[in-house]
Structure 1
Amino acid sequence: MTAQPQPIDLPAVKDAVEEITKEMFACSDRGEATKRIGPLSEVDTRQFGIAILTREGDLVCGGDADTPFSIQSISKVFSLELALERYGEKLWDRCGRDPSGDPFNSIIDLERHKGHPRNPFVNAGALVVIDALLDALSADEEVQAVIDFVARLLDGEAFSLNEEIAEADRTGSHLNRALLSLAKHFGNVNNAIADVLRAYVRQCAIELSCRQLARVGRFLMLEGPDDRACPREDAARRARRILALMMTSGQYDGAGEFAYRVGLPAKSGIGGGILAIAPNTASIAVWSPGLDESGNSLLGTRALEMLTDRLDWSSFGRVRTR
């Protein structure tokens, strides 16, 4: 049964976005940009953007909402949607659905589970998901499938893929190569390691603004896209599954803290973006490049906590009666 939509007070949403944007720009503790990918380490951490797309189609933005940023691991949501559409429940023969208390790039966790990743949002899991897609597509076709999916949800609006970031990520991805080698050792990677890695870093290098990311997230907010060549119920079921995984695993080893503070399913990326979903209510994108210890946007998390508190949006129920 679909939960009844929470009422949306648009003036309250606009006021909250305006107040939160001011507070975020006034913050002195902004975290540090990732050092894992050279070009991303140079991004100005003084930036902050937020965009909210409501179920009625109203778009409310604040700060640097039109500045493109590298979505990085947020792209795992899109490749997971494509893999679930193609393979359905068979995908879980190769990847788990449990949260991990280890860092997102832990090789120890993968060894402990004999090449079977804990969930599709840790790096090992995302790589196995891409390998599954490569069983049917080439590396170029896999990336194009993700790009086409995003483009369709943006109604053809232009966006870019940053080749410099992709190449820097590819040449520096020694740990991801090790994860792939270990999974291949246990028989859970079928394709060439170079092909899987190339597809992975290129989809991570997609650049979207908060305004665009909130629009792309609409397919999860409304429980599945309307324009897919499959029954609406199938798309809605996939959306529900993905949201569950975003809640338990979307913020890596910080997922429990994030669920406690924010109360919405979300997926982060080390580029500083977070896509959060208030089911059947709103798709929310925030971005600030400074990260916390778990690799999630420090100000982005803080902004979402303030937003859900002020608007009383939570997957765990409402606090205020009206």
Structure 2
Amino acid sequence: MNYQKILEDIQEQIQPELIKGNVADYIPALKNVKENDFAMSIRLLDGQTFNVGCFDKKFSIQSISKVFTYSMALKIYSKELYSRVWYEPSGNPFNSLVQLEYEKGIPRNPFINAGAIVTTDSLVTHFKDKNIAIKQINDFINNLSKDNILIDEDIYMSELKTGHRNRALANLMKSFSNIKNPINNTLETYFKHCSFMMNTQQLATTMLFLANHGTDPLTKEEIITSSKAKRINSLMLTCGHYDASGDFAFHVGLPGKSGVGGGIVAIVPKKMAICVYSPRLNSKGNSLAGTKALELFTTITGLSIF
């Protein structure tokens, strides 16, 4: 299959979609992007890479970081983690307080904001220090990407100053004893890992272990067990796009995770990892053109899990 030609065809077909949607301006520092940017990268298990667009341009990974922190926490805590964060779709917006109140401070899954805050809190507990925790998260991503990934301090400070809803989620969970550390320590770590800057090629590379049953195919290192990789992939399919996860599964048919920075990662089991970037979002907070590009990819190639 000529993946380079397929990516070029998708880039051509996607042009009308690039002017639709809006960037995530509720995080002030995320407004400073070129709204019509587009990039897409494929990384095969044998290391071959195919790219189109501004694939070397770094952007804020935002909620894609939740895949990394959940992978780390699941490796450390295993089934014990499920008592603090469940594995069910939420059906509600990613920052909803209503469901969290009703379910007594236990987030539905690790890919909504509340769930990711709990996951981050568990890592701060394990490493006993917020600075060690963020360094370990950074090292984990560096190891997967084969690169040195950095935090954008402007985006981090922007989130720290304006993340009132996330602070409310954390306080609500603290009232139910589901946040164990000082709230500021957990939230600072959370905002920092959402502020890592990566490009589509780097992100596609980081997801290869999930496309290969938990083992990095380039280094042969087992990152997590195949059983845990299966669980993470299932959550990416059912919960990876907030309350549009069903729509993404219906149209794209791959496990994936989006971020409000405009990135989406997806995996084709035993074949490849994909990343697409387009910063304009649909009403659910997912990349509008990115979702369409992935739908075109699975339609053209027939590479879907269904």
Same fold flag (TM > 0.5): yes
Confirm or deny that 1:151 pairs with 2:142: yes
Letter in 2 for 1:70: S
Question: Per-residue deviation at 1:142?
Answer: 1.4
What are the Cα deviations for residues 164-186 of structure 1, in whole angstroms up to 9, with x where unaligned?
10010011111111101110101
TM-score normalised by length of structure 1: 0.91
Name the counterpart of 1:167: 157
Preserved contact between residue 215 and residue 224 of structure 2 (Cα < 8 Å): no
Gap runs ≥5 in structure 2: none
CA–CA separation in structure 2 for the residues paired with 1:226 and 1:190:
32
Determine what percentage of the aligned residue pairs are the same residue.
39
Confirm or deny that 1:181 pairs with 2:171: yes
Question: Per-residue deviation at 1:159?
Answer: 2.8
Q: 1:115 to 1:255 in 2, by over 3 A?
A: same
Name the counterpart of 1:54: 44
**Residue correspondence of structure 1 range 199-238 to structure 2 within 5 A:** 199-226=189-216, 232=222, 235-238=225-228
Question: Per-residue deviation at 1:238?
Answer: 1.4
Question: Per-residue deviation at 1:41?
Answer: 1.7
Name the counterpart of 2:180: 190
Preserved contact between residue 18 and residue 278 of structure 2 (Cα < 8 Å): no
Confirm or deny that 1:311 pairs with 2:306: no
Q: How many aligned residue pairs are there?
A: 303
1:273 is matched with which residue: 263, 282, 298?
263
**Residue correspondence of structure 1 range 112-123 to structure 2 within 5 A:** 112-123=102-113
Preserved contact between residue 24 and residue 48 of structure 1 (Cα < 8 Å): no
1:24 is matched with which residue: 14, 28, 31?
14
User: What SS does the corresponding residue of 2:257 show, helix, strand or coil?
Assistant: strand
CA–CA separation in structure 1 for the residues paired with 2:222 and 2:111:
25
- Single out whichever of 250-259 and 21-30 deviates more from structure 2: 21-30
CA–CA separation in structure 1 for the residues paired with 2:264 and 2:216:
24
Confirm or deny that 1:260 pairs with 2:258: no
TM-score normalised by length of structure 2: 0.96
CA–CA separation in structure 2 for the residues paired with 1:81 and 1:311:
29
Letter in 2 for 1:45: E
CA–CA separation in structure 1 for the residues paired with 2:162 and 2:216:
39
Preserved contact between residue 52 and residue 282 of structure 1 (Cα < 8 Å): yes
Q: 1:275 to 1:234 in 2, by over 3 A?
A: closer
CA–CA separation in structure 2 for the residues paired with 1:199 and 1:27:
35
Root-mean-square deviation (Å): 1.6
Name the counterpart of 2:132: 141
**Residue correspondence of structure 1 range 32-47 to structure 2 within 5 A:** 32-47=22-37
What are the Cα deviations for residues 45-80 of structure 1, in whole angstroms up to 9, with x where unaligned?
110000001122210000111100000000000000
Letter in 2 for 1:214: A
